[in-house]
Amino acid sequence: MRVEFRDLLNWLRTYVPPKVLLTAVGLAIVLGAAGVYAMFAYMPASTVEDRAAALTWIPGPTNTPAPTATLVPTSTPTPSFEPPASGQMGVGAYVQIVGTEGRGLNIRNAPGLSTNVQFLAYDAEVFVVRDGPREVDGLTWWYIVTPVDAARAGWAAGTYLEVVVSE
């Protein structure tokens, strides 16, 4: 898209009153002049001594003693679940967004209509159910995660979810 200078001028004439435009231009000129003056007025005069190179000594690495205790890694058990039967909604099921008529579905940070919207999911997007169901505000809520991006996750109303049946 190419914007012509006269299009910009026409837009300015239409939406910006002349007094406001002149005030803004005048203010920009005054502030610019003040900035240039300040830059030169407060600039110290340089001398040959000021331009001398400074040498900074950075000490090299030292030998660090090895730790005496060995740390044993611990693991956090992951919850196990039985995937639902084919066509059944549940944890582990693949679902897709349906019925939003192109408006998209608000994916929220917690179940409920008054919670914050994380992002918008569109019809036919596929997710994996990771938690739920939760009954809040007369709706059944499911925690869904995009299979390709774990950061794209949140709570969705079950009314707009349809199980993807694998064949």
Summarize pLDDT for 55-69 with one digit per residue, the tens: 666 777 777 666 666
- Write the CATH number for 140: 2.30.30.40
Q: What percent of the chain has pLDDT over 70?
A: 75
Classify residue 150: in a domain, yes or no. Answer: yes
Higher-scoring residue by pLDDT: 80, 35: 35
State the pLDDT at residue 126. 93
How many structural domains comprise the chain?
Answer: 2
In a domain, 63, yes or no: no
Predicted local confidence at residue 142, as pLDDT: 95
What pLDDT, on a 0 to 100 scale, did the predictor assign at position 69?
A: 64
Average pLDDT over residues 88-111: 92
The confidence band for 137, taking pLDDT boundaries of 50, 70 and 90, is: very high
Segments forming the whole domain that contains residue 152: 94-163
Per-residue pLDDT at 82: 62
Residue 95 · residue 84 · CB < 8 Å = no
Q: Are 90 and 131 in contact (CB under 8 A)?
A: no
Give 146-157 pLDDT, tens digit per residue: 988 888 999 999
Tokens 């919850």 label which residue?
79
**Domain membership flag for residue 16:** yes
Confirm whether 88 is domain-assigned: no
Residue 158 resides in a domain? yes
Q: Is residue 69 part of a domain?
A: no
Dump the DSSP string for 114-142: TSPEEEEE-TT-EEEEEEEEEEETTEEEE
Q: Which residues contact 132 (CB under 8 A, 6 or more apart)?
A: 91, 111, 140, 141, 142, 143, 155, 158
User: What is the reported pLDDT for 21?
Assistant: 79
> Could you tell me what percent of the chain has a pLDDT over 90?
43
- Please write the tens of the pLDDT for every residue from 33-55: 998 888 877 776 655 555 555 66
For residue 6, the model assigns a pLDDT of: 86
Q: Please name the residue that has the structure tokens 């909604």.
A: 89
Q: For residue 157, tell me if it sits in a domain.
A: yes
Q: Is the pLDDT of residue 109 over 60?
A: yes
Q: Is residue 30 part of a domain?
A: yes
- Would you state the pLDDT for residue 37? 86
